[in-house]
Structure 1
Amino acid sequence: MKVEHPQAYQFIMQEELYLLPEDQLSAASSPIVPTDDQVSDGIDAVSEPIQPATTPNQETEIAASTVIAQPVQETPKPPFNYWGENKKQFLILVNYSWVEHIPDEHRVALESILSRKGLSKEDVALLNVNATGPVQLSELTTYFNPTRLVIMGNNALPTGIGNLPINKAVQGKKIHVLYSFSFADMMSSNENKKAFWEQMKTL
């Protein structure tokens, strides 16, 4: 039967229409083809790079890694205040609490002893350890680089030198050492003067 007007179907077919099971499967299996606009939108979304999120801890670590450590500058120790010029690396240690270097009376005696050895003030370095306080032997050897060392009295002994025989010259690896009387002890005893001079001649 041919129907001229589609609206006439509602009067001719009054029953409800249902899809058979095979018709439902056929409709589900039909692929949905995306439009060109949908495909283009998907490509643009994938092509954008994904930036990793930075946590607060990572930001702190990055900032800390850029800090440049500054070198620690050590304050150099002041040079020793000594008498003489140390041209021949001859170091003499004394201890006087009332003068800067050595009393005039003892200085004259020292200059006489040095001249008998062919030495002068320019050849030696006389250090009053009372002005420096306790001083390490290593500090003295580093600063003066002595080849001969005379220690005048037990209160002039540097720290770390160990036990030394009294008034007997000792030859070390690099330094010839004489531990003897102080000038005060020698000035009052001719025997001490003679014993000291005998050892000084070997230096």
Structure 2
Amino acid sequence: MSTSTGRRLRADAEHNIARILAAAEEVLAVDPAASLEQIGEAAGLTRATVHRRFASRQALLEALTERLNQRYLSALDQSKAETAPPLVVLRRLTEIVFELKISHRFTMELMSARDGCRSGLSPEVEAGLEQVFVRLREAGEITATGADWCRQVYLALLHEAHELPDDAADLVAAGRSRAELVVRAVVGALGGAPSPVGG
């Protein structure tokens, strides 16, 4: 096999994997018990192709979880977690996570259900979130010091804000911005002044 043929086959395989994962997210959000065959149909691929890429349903679920963790790492990069002012980082990160909650609804629910009170986040994502809270603390925006506590408060408030109806009083007061509501609540809950923050 020539090098160019090998590259093309790898590119085809990566393209098929991306199609399968995108289809799985959509199909499983509607029917969590959907089969690999149904996911393959939604992706426009044969069952054999799906099984070649994912030997089992569990392997597919693990790939969905890994993909979401990669999106979280990307969100930390996009929010300039290491360089931007920490409140701006928290706001940008929260906005991106709300977008992920919409586009990765099944995987978000899967990770929460599987890990109970834990987030299902990879150690790299947890470390990234911890650094955001370290920077908030160093900037005097919060006083809480426990990494697990800060992360759990943040994730719980993200979930609760996501579940709010669009006309909820607290959401209206925050200008209908779920991210604004979460940032205010997180800063207040973790020992800072719950005042509005700039974007």
Q: Do they fold alike, i.e. is TM over 0.5?
A: no
* Bigger fraction of residues in helix: 2
TM-score bracket, shorter-length normalisation: under 0.3
- In the superposition, the TM-score normalised over structure 2's length comes to 0.22
Give the number of the structure whose alpha-carbon radius of gyration is greater. 1
* Bigger fraction of residues in strand: 1
